[in-house]
Amino acid sequence: MIEIEQLRYVRLGTRNLPAAVDFAQRILGLQLIERNDEQATFRSDFRDHTLVYEVGDPMQQSVGLEVRTQATLDRAIAALAATGITATAAHAQALARRKARAMASFRDHSGNTFELVVRPQTSGWRYFPSRDAGVTGFAAVALRTTANEADETLWTTLFNGQVSDWVGDAAFIRFDDAHHRLALHPSSRAGVLAIEYAVEGMNQIMQAMYFLQSAQVKIVHGPGRRPTSDQMFLTFAGPDDMLFSYVAEGVRIADDGAHRPRQFARKHLSFCAWGSESTIPEFAVSEDSD
């Protein structure tokens, strides 16, 4: 069992770095940490950075997860190899870009890229965002999966992930006391679906709704509340069709033994208890029996 310590970052390729930087600062409200011709990194909390835009193909995306030691990383590489997944150790330049001591990357059964990093940098400086969005931290990543069972099994058997709930076949997977850190949504293709940032509370969710409306940012789902995690959410579109969510509140699962994963029907109301609907295919539901 490989222990995932925490979510660290998402790296996204973009053909238009200036537009992505503008979005991350002015709309999303993150703090720009470093910017050069190749990449821009953004902070949302105690982590040095949680979002990276790098010049390249928008299909080139990866999710960074922390493991504690080099030994754990070595065990992970071996365990992945045993299931037929090749993990590639990173070279010095890639490590420098990620501000980590060691790293290995691999693809899940759908083709989503993950990077296991050892000793990624924490910031001693307080997070000071460019706008008062009330972001408290990087919360979760929603992924598309074309092999939901195999991908779910990867996280729950090879790694320490546990399914908190399912909506249809979409699995919400936790690694700590948060309801989920990864969500796997069955889809026709792989890729990051949404990047989620926690905000202080309902005020920030609702203020964001009016702010995004006035900034003419497309809101694709919410404001709403997830019956699964009990989180309030607001999902909107960023550059390169990437979705971002603000989330607030939500259950903590402190006692693993006491929590049983629940199966929710694949209905609008299973994604949003307030009744908001979405045209995003992964949340779209072909039912009319609500």
Residues of this chain that bind another protein (CB under 8 A):
202-203, 206-207, 209-211, 214, 223-225, 273-276
The CB-of-202 to another protein minimum distance in angstroms stands at: 6
Lookup: tokens for 132? 């008062």
Give me Rg for the CA atoms of the chain.
Answer: 18
The CB-of-200 to another protein minimum distance in angstroms stands at: 13
- CB 112 within 8 Å of CB 187: no
Taking the C-alpha atoms of residue 27 and residue 47, their distance in angstroms, rounded to an integer, is 20
Q: Nearer Cβ to another protein, position 105 or 278?
A: 278
Q: Nearer Cβ to another protein, position 148 or 228?
A: 228
Buried b (16+ CB within 10 A) or exposed e, 141-163: bbbbbbbbeebbebbeebbbbbb
Q: Nearer Cβ to another protein, position 275 or 281?
A: 275
- CB 172 within 8 Å of CB 165: yes
The CB-of-234 to another protein minimum distance in angstroms stands at: 11
The CB-of-214 to another protein minimum distance in angstroms stands at: 7
The CB-of-72 to another protein minimum distance in angstroms stands at: 41
Q: Nearer Cβ to another protein, position 110 or 278?
A: 278
Q: Which residues contact 83 (CB under 8 A, 6 or more apart)?
A: 154, 158
Q: Nearer Cβ to another protein, position 128 or 210?
A: 210
- CB 283 within 8 Å of CB 240: no
The three-state secondary structure class of 129 is coil
